[in-house]
Structure 1
Amino acid sequence: MSQASKPLYVTPWILLNFMLLLILTSSNSESISHYTDFVYKKCRNETHIPDTLVTSLVQELVEKSTKSKFYQTSTGDDIVTVSGKFQCNYDLNVDNCHDCIVNIVSRLKCSSSSLARVQLKGCFISLEPEPEPTPDQPEHESVKANNRGLNLIVRNDYLQHKKCGERRSWIEGLQEVRDAAFEMVAKCVTSSGVRYCEKRHEGMFAMGQCEGGLEVCECGECVSNAFQVAQDECWGSNSGEVYLENCFVSFSDYKPHQGAI
């Protein structure tokens, strides 16, 4: 006659540790699961690019994302050359970076072209025709004027996308605190060595990240220009995101999830 098995007794200590493990797992999952969320897409009006050329370029970018968080290259023939690049957010590991890039691939196709720039929360891919430099203007540079009348020499700092949060202009001192956080980040990206910085100032969080191909001084200029857009376009908001061609910034009066803005 077999002896009846004893009931399993779970001590309060074991139960507490189990509950803490669930909470931490859930928290970590929430903090990184957003990196494949869609942000924006811009299609290029190019209809003469061979699909085979684009396909091989995309395959190369996907393969490189298993080893790196930034890569740029170009490919072509005697008629056309296409450049491609990707970048993942500084706080993503390589596995999550690769996953993010794979999630972009299905979104690249446009109705009139195979070239596009697609931004997810944690990464972007950009495919475009290789530009021909002109004698009158250095390659990848342009001049634009902001609403304060200052001419800024920028390196392709074209506005790609912006999003402003809730208007809270009635909160006294909000803009001053925000602008101080902006200045801290703009200075930090030039000294961090990784073209990325996040700062907190009196409850305001601000973050900036540059494309891996930018020089340090170019990174500082790009982030400063992005924060200028945030000041002008999101003047009374408690949060915002600004994407330029070569950098992006975000700010919020609460702790945001890590990732792109």
Structure 2
Amino acid sequence: MGTLKTKHHIHTLLFLTALIFFLSTPTSLADNTNLIYKGCADQKLQQPYSQNLKPLLSSLLAESAQKGFAATTQNGLTGAYQCRGDLTSSDCHSCVAKIPDMLGRLCGEAAAAARVQLSGCYLRYEVVGFKQVAATQLLYKVCGARRVVDGGGFEARRDAAFGMVENGVQSSGNLFYTGSYQSLYVLGQCEGNLGNADCGDCIRSAAEQAKDQCGYSISAQVYLQNCYISYSFYPNGVPTSSSSSGSEGGGHPHTERTVALAVGGVAALGFLIVCMLFLKSVLKRRGGKR
């Protein structure tokens, strides 16, 4: 009975240790599927359009497993999706797959037009002929609550970083750009069917909106109809291993989170090793008493 009880305690401790380890290393999918904003038309889809919505969404979802942007028109409905330019095909598909189920909760019964923006992707649809907004229409903005108190050339650095985004999206080949410049991390992307020049114009408009709407905020996200731009200011330098203050780099938007996960994973692994050594010691002592 003593041996059976000891094994039970060992199995329980191993299970709890493994559970702690896995809970300390969450996946990145949650970051990509955080809701940013939603837009829903007041008008509702009428027959036969309402029954055509599901096939349209299914078609877009299937496309998302192959490429980061697609737009299509089917049976009187037009729709499109786009994933952030640094997502893999698998992450893109997983992100877009979240939206069809969210549409019902966010917009109620099928709206005549809807758009759902997640942190890693968006999906939109509307009835053909539905009134469109301008390509540079402001849809949503988020300005960081903290502000840069000591200017220290922040405005000039931010404007230079925005210029990098404007040039970068046009030369990147996929209308997407990320980079860092003197303590600023910046990101921009245009809808996949824009030409390079139109993309540059849209990003320039988004940058102007960010300046006007958010001023000296330490961070901002600005979404227009056909593009978006974001920035984050790090007084001590953008926390990436590949960039430093005063140089352009290819930073990653989730650097701080990646570092936190790495530290958490190492700590959990260390705890697991300590537990295993403790168990080995206990078993060795018990074996010596027999």
Give me the TM-score of the superposition, normalised by structure 2: 0.67
How large is the Cα RMSD of the aligned pairs?
A: 2.3
Counterpart-to-counterpart distance in 2, 1:220 and 1:87: 18
- Relative distance call for 1:228 and 1:30 in structure 2 (3 A) is farther
Task: Find out whether 1:64 has 2:63 as its counterpart.
Answer: yes
Counterpart-to-counterpart distance in 2, 1:241 and 1:129: 28
- Relative distance call for 1:183 and 1:30 in structure 2 (3 A) is farther
Displacement of 1:202: 0.7
| Number of equivalent positions | 211
Task: Find out whether 1:126 has 2:124 as its counterpart.
Answer: yes
Select the residue among 35, 39, 52 that pairs with 1:42: 39
Q: Which amino acid aligns with 1:118?
A: V
Counterpart-to-counterpart distance in 1, 2:179 and 2:203: 13
Q: Which amino acid aligns with 1:91?
A: D
Displacement of 1:187: 1.4
Q: Specify the alignment match of 1:149 in structure 2.
A: none
Q: Specify the alignment match of 1:217 in structure 2.
A: 197
Q: Which amino acid aligns with 1:88?
A: C
Displacement of 1:130: 2.1
Q: Specify the alignment match of 2:92 in structure 1.
A: 97
Counterpart-to-counterpart distance in 2, 1:127 and 1:46: 13
Instruction: State whether residues 29 and 95 of structure 2, in contact with CA within 8 Å, keep that contact through their aligned partners in structure 1.
Output: no
Instruction: State whether residues 44 and 113 of structure 1, in contact with CA within 8 Å, keep that contact through their aligned partners in structure 2.
Output: no
Counterpart-to-counterpart distance in 2, 1:30 and 1:241: 23
Q: Give the secondary structure class of the aligned counterpart of 1:131.
A: coil
Superposed CA deviations along residues 33-81 of structure 1, whole A, max 9, x for unmatched, are 40011110000233243321111111111111111111100112xxxx2
Instruction: State whether residues 158 and 184 of structure 2, in contact with CA within 8 Å, keep that contact through their aligned partners in structure 1.
Output: yes
Counterpart-to-counterpart distance in 1, 2:32 and 2:133: 30
Counterpart-to-counterpart distance in 1, 2:231 and 2:212: 14
Superposed CA deviations along residues 168-196 of structure 1, whole A, max 9, x for unmatched, are 24222222211110111111111121101
Q: Which amino acid aligns with 1:187?
A: N
Q: Which moved further from structure 2: 163-172 or 85-94?
A: 163-172
Task: Find out whether 1:197 has 2:164 as its counterpart.
Answer: no
**Structure 1: any 5+ residue segments left out of the alignment?**
1-21, 134-139, 143-155
Q: Which moved further from structure 2: 37-46 or 233-242?
A: 37-46
Select the residue among 130, 153, 171 that pairs with 2:150: 171
Displacement of 1:239: 0.3
Task: Report matched runs for 1:1-261 at 5 Å.
Answer: 26=25, 33-49=30-46, 50-76=49-75, 81-109=76-104, 110-111=107-108, 113-114=110-111, 115-131=113-129, 142=134, 156-172=135-151, 173-254=153-234, 255=238, 256-257=253-254
When Rg is computed on C-alpha atoms for both structures, the one with the higher figure is: 2
Instruction: State whether residues 45 and 113 of structure 1, in contact with CA within 8 Å, keep that contact through their aligned partners in structure 2.
Output: no
Instruction: State whether residues 46 and 112 of structure 1, in contact with CA within 8 Å, keep that contact through their aligned partners in structure 2.
Output: no
Q: Which amino acid aligns with 2:38?
A: K
Give runs of ≥4 in structure 1 deviating > 3 Å.
29-33, 112-115
Q: Greater strand share, 1 or 2?
A: 1
Q: Give the secondary structure class of the aligned counterpart of 1:68.
A: coil
Instruction: State whether residues 70 and 88 of structure 1, in contact with CA within 8 Å, keep that contact through their aligned partners in structure 2.
Output: yes
Displacement of 1:111: 2.7
Counterpart-to-counterpart distance in 2, 1:157 and 1:82: 23
Instruction: State whether residues 35 and 100 of structure 1, in contact with CA within 8 Å, keep that contact through their aligned partners in structure 2.
Output: yes
Counterpart-to-counterpart distance in 1, 2:125 and 2:224: 16
Q: Which amino acid aligns with 1:207?
A: L
Counterpart-to-counterpart distance in 1, 2:133 and 2:102: 29
Q: Give the secondary structure class of the aligned counterpart of 2:31.
A: helix
Instruction: State whether residues 47 and 112 of structure 1, in contact with CA within 8 Å, keep that contact through their aligned partners in structure 2.
Output: yes
Q: Which moved further from structure 2: 165-174 or 50-59?
A: 165-174
